[in-house]
Amino acid sequence: MIRFYLLAMGAFLALDLLPKSHRLMNALASGNALLHLALTCTALLTLDLPVRYGPSLYLDHLNLYVELITVLGFCAAAPYAKGYTESLMEEGELDPKNLKLFYLAFNLLLVTATAALFSDNLALFWIFAELTTVCAAVLVVILSARENIDAGLKYVFIVSGAMLFAFLGLIFLFTLSARALGEGTLSWTELMENASSFSPALLLASFAFVFIGFGAKAGIAPFHTWLPDAYARAPSVSAILSGLMQNLGIYGILRTYALLRVSDSAPQASFILIAAGLFSIALAAFSMLQQRNLKRLIAFSSVEHMGLLLIGIGIGTPIALFWALFYMLVHVLVKEALLFAAGILHRQYGSNMREDMRDVFKLQPRAAWTLILGSIAIVGMPPFPLFPAKFFILLESAEVSPYLTLAVLLLLILAAAAFSNFLLKAFSRVTEEGEGEHGKEPGYRKKSFQDPYVVRAGMRIPTVFMLALALLLGLWFPEPLKVLLEAIVLELGYV
């Protein structure tokens, strides 16, 4: 069945090669995202989950949910990409010849991610996850600037290298199943059914290897080093990196950890998760504190959030998992809004650096307010949905150890301080009357301070939409979402 999906999508992508105008290419990308959104929603509403089609296509609540998050991110990113790439081309940073490649990689990223999520076979999942790395790297290096090539290469080397370790883990899993069942298998469902009869030591070893690979994909410290570079360099698609790539890594970890829950080595595995999570949060919080580059600040905040997610998964109680899953969704919404707003500021100032930003409220009031509200949301302030998610994960973490709760709480405060520090310093710079048009301060590099960059509607609407959606989820928790999350918790065997 996956073959049919890939064939259909291949035809679609071939269609993608035809159009000459940017508008049409963008419309196709948006259409692709909307198509996937429609399919996902239909599957969620009509199918009696879990279902299996053929040997490799498998739909259950978890992968549909992650797909939903991914597709939401793409739906917002597609219209945004139009405005952003247009202004990149105006400034000569993006070669118009590369536009087709950009959209090809953009669409292909969604297709490979979808294929990865819905394949029941671990090896297929691995291949498609590797392919998403390649597509994302193409998106990062698309600009003619060489620093992008640098970031893209770093990304590919770190993630693919780590993914080879994940492959070692798969080999171990295959051996294990071959011993227990007589014939080796890498199917999630078959492994889930038989995991209790596997040898715990070997299972733990394979989990550790798989964790290295998908941890690197999710941007968990110490494999996160690609992330700040890629975020800072990628043109607008950094939003997709956070929305998709990182969740894909978390998805892999979640599935593999679910295998271990039934075996004797569950405590060690959850220790690995919690330790890696805590380390990520700590490292990110301290790196954020003196960060002067906006996109890097947001990137490290992603590392921090992935850490918290890992802790949520590692605690192992149903409540913690429930909120961790919810967290995956709202994190993407808020993070994309933040990155979109940061992209608008980058267009305005031609830089992500704090000292280049002046008169923000005069020039880009909407982006400024999005950043402020988004920061409030991302640090977990009440009206926004990250607050209950963080609150309950922290509450549950006390079950593991109260010191863990305390440590995480302190680090989260540190991260919040980093955000407010950045915003205060960046947004309080105002050009005084009579100071003149040519700034004398160091770091004052751009000439076009006086004229605001015209934000296209395609860029503005997704930004506001994501933030509004997040706010809505904070004020009102929809019943279907609750049912869906509870079903996932049950499916993963958390009782």
The contact set with another protein (CB under 8 A) reads 93, 121, 123-124, 126-127, 130-131, 133-134, 137-138, 141, 145-147, 149-150, 152-154, 156-157, 160-161, 164-165, 167-168, 171-172, 174-175, 178-179, 184, 186, 199, 201-202, 205, 232, 292-293, 349-353, 356, 445-446
> Closest separation between CB of residue 337 and another protein, Å?
23
What is the C-alpha R_g of the chain? 22
Query: Are the CB atoms for 285 and 418 separated by under 8 Å?
Result: yes
Nearer to another protein (CB atom), residue 167 or residue 419: 167
Residue 435: DSSP 8-state: S
| Sign of the dihedral through C-alpha 297, 26, 41, 479 | positive
Give alpha helix (H) positions in 316-446: 318-349, 360-363, 365-378, 386-400, 402-427
User: Quick one: CA torsion of 203, 206, 211, 216, rounded to 10 degrees?
Assistant: 180
Q: Which one-letter amino acid corresponds to residue 384? A: F
> Closest separation between CB of residue 152 and another protein, Å?
7
Report d(CA 35, CA 105) in Å as an integer.
17
> What b/e readout covers 200-218, taking b as 16+ CB neighbours within 10 angstroms?
bebbbbbbbbbbbbbbbbb
> Closest separation between CB of residue 175 and another protein, Å?
4
Query: Are the CB atoms for 485 and 355 separated by under 8 Å?
Result: no
> Closest separation between CB of residue 126 and another protein, Å?
8
What tokens appear for 226 in the block? 């690609």
> Closest separation between CB of residue 350 and another protein, Å?
4
> Closest separation between CB of residue 205 and another protein, Å?
5
**Other beta carbons less than 10 A from residue 405's beta carbon:** 18
Q: Which one-letter amino acid corresponds to residue 449? A: F
Query: Are the CB atoms for 411 and 287 separated by under 8 Å?
Result: no
> Closest separation between CB of residue 292 and another protein, Å?
6
Nearest CA-CA partner of 369 in 328, 389, 349, 340: 340
What tokens appear for 474 in the block? 């904070």
Q: Is the peptide bond before 222 cis (omega within 30 degrees of 0)?
A: yes
Half-sphere exposure of residue 349, counting CA atoms within 13 Å on the CB side? 26
> Closest separation between CB of residue 356 and another protein, Å?
6
> Closest separation between CB of residue 171 and another protein, Å?
5
Note the maximum CA span of the chain: 82
